[in-house]
Structure 1
Amino acid sequence: MKQKMDYQHELSGKIALVTGGTKGAGKAIAERLKNAGAKVIITARNHPESPDEDLYFIPANLSKPEDAGKVAAEVFEKYGKLDILVNNLGGSETPGGGFAVLTNMDWEQTIQTNLLAPVRVDKAFLPQMLEKGSGVIIHIASIQGKLPLYDSTLPYAAAKAGLINYSKGLSKEVSPKGVRVLTVSPGWIMTDASKRMMERISESAGISIDAATQSVMDALGGIPGGRPAHPEEIAELVGFLVSPRAGYLTGTEYVIDGGTVPTI
């Protein structure tokens, strides 16, 4: 008879790092790993609005090349190792208006944050994972890697497509050496920032919050699931993927979008 696994303690003894872990899906992921027994470190440019003494915070701007090494040095000094790396940091701040309004700086900053930052963080921690022959790396990408929105987030979409491709390539190199690499590509997530955006749309268009939400879903081509994701749903998928239950999974992209992407 198979022994039932205690999911609440399945990450006990593990050290985990979640980049961009102070809000949104990153915060939910950090809390999910903590609740499974891991010691969790989070990074972000700004301190958490509601600090959690059980989440060790390292201030860092990982779009700057030097900060990845600084984070790694502090993690190794305090904990001596890293078992789980969730590259969640990402986002887009480019203006609307399509290709013509995008500057070189828009492209460079977006690619630094969404592609090169996770590459550098991986590089800082992978040697130690390979030396001990174990570890899990999760790259949080986006359905925009396959379904780009050209009006305001084309650089973001291109960077996430690059991240998906890089993640697959990296998995082929390091999985035979004991390190699993996976990609999670969410669709629209109803974070606090998304809620504020719905309020702005509602106010400017003179429509209800529900109508504003529906207008965004329509712009995405519809969400068959009928709503955006909750951050905790993304976190639950990540919590499974980094666990021993997912020990045979590597090199794969997991789309969690309520059915938004209309193709296989």
Structure 2
Amino acid sequence: MAATTSKIRRALITGAGAADGIGFAIARHLGKAGHAVFLTGASARVMDRAAELRGEGIDATATVADLTMAADVARLRVAAGAVDILVNNAGMGSLASPSSDKAFVSMTEADWDQGIDVSLKTAFLVTRAFLPAMVEAGYGRVVNVASVTGPIVSFEGTSAYSAAKAGMVGLTRALALEMAKDGITVNAVAPGWIETGASSAMELTAALHTPPARAGLPHEVAAAVVFLASEGASYVNGAVLVVDGGNSLQERKG
């Protein structure tokens, strides 16, 4: 899919600290599409990612923020200023608060709250902070990084994550209806098995049973995000674009 870009836009990408992660790939691809990018993550490594992009000639800035905290999000809003494109990629876990699979009957309330906060509340707080400026401008693109886990499929030990990502899709659809009259589109991508530094051995093995017989790569998710963030996607609203190599289509896996 080719993105259509007629002017430089300012984009904020959350969860962009990992060098081999989806968020950083999205930031790089938006930068290569000609946009100025602002990265945020839970640790100082996000500053290294912005420096890396600047070394590639991309207009990139970054700040550290805990997006589960409203005060940190408020500081992020001041630091980043108004943006035209918001990519809510933060989720699953971070260096400071790594995720772990746990059977539902073994979960504590704190486990549940952490899963929902990291993978859904972050999107709520950040979107709430940056939407008003988009409304004022009469233009905006919000792209939420959901997952096939939750909205379409699931597996043991991921009840909080599944609930959060299903909630991300619900948030996408509700906001798409609310914001359309203001020139803002709200869409989601739903990645399947994507190989990153956080991929477990189980996930990489499962990816071998997808129709392409391999895991997806972060840049393949980024390409979908760049399209949804483009001016050319102006009549795509409330969509969930699955990026899983067709894995969720097959009943029988190897």
Aligned positions, number: 235
Amino acid at match of 1:91: M
> Mind listing any 5+ residue stretches in structure 2 that lack a counterpart?
none
Correspondence for 1:234 among 221, 236, 244: 221
Aligned to 2:124: 119
The answer as to 2:121 corresponding to 1:88 is: no
The answer as to 2:103 corresponding to 1:108 is: no
TM-score (norm 2): 0.86
Shift of 1:25: 0.5
Structure 2 partner of 1:248: 235
- Report the equivalent of 2:155: 149
Q: Which has the larger radius of gyration?
A: 1
Residue in structure 2 matched with residue 173 of structure 1 by the alignment: 178
**Inter-partner Cα distance in structure 2 for 1:113 and 1:131:** 28
Q: Is the 8 A contact 2:13 2:40 kept in 1?
A: yes
Aligned to 1:66: 71
Q: Which secondary structure does the structure 1 equivalent of 2:134 belong to?
A: helix
Residue 204 of structure 2 is aligned to residue 213 of structure 1: yes
- How well do the aligned residues superpose, as a CA RMSD in angstroms? 2.1
Secondary structure (helix, strand or coil) at the match of 2:198 reads helix
Distance 2:102 2:124 in 1: 29
Q: Which amino acid letter does the alignment assign opposite residue 55 of structure 1?
A: A
For residue 31 of structure 1, the aligned residue among 5, 28, 31 is 28
* Corresponding residue for residue 17 of structure 2: 22
SS for the counterpart of 2:11 is strand
Once the 2 structures are TM-superposed, how far is the Cα of residue 132 of structure 1 from its aligned partner? 1.1
List 4+ stretches of structure 1 deviating above 6 A: none
- 2:45 aligned with 1:44, yes or no? no
Match of 2:62, SS? strand
On the 8 A contact 2:193/2:204 being kept in 1, the answer is no
Does the CA-based 8 Å contact 1:130-1:179 persist in structure 2? yes
Identical aligned pairs, as a percentage?
34
How far apart, in 1, do the equivalents of 2:25 and 2:236 lie?
Answer: 22
For the residues of structure 1 that align with 2:88 and 2:6, how far apart are their CA atoms? 18
Q: Deviations over 1:176-209 (max 9, x none)?
A: 2111100110001101222xx33xx7xxxxxxxx
Q: State the alpha-carbon separation in 1 of the partners of residues 11 and 91 from structure 2.
A: 18
1:227 counterpart letter in structure 2: R
**Hey, what does 1:207 align to over in structure 2?**
none
Task: Give the drift of 1:213.
Answer: 3.3
1:206 match: none
Within 5 A, what are the aligned runs for 1:183-222?
A: 183-194=188-199, 197-198=200-201, 213-214=204-205, 216-217=206-207, 222=209
Q: Structure 1 unaligned segments of length 5 or more: list them.
A: 1-5, 202-211
Deviations 1:30-75 (A, max 9, x none): 0000011111000001123553234211100101222111111111
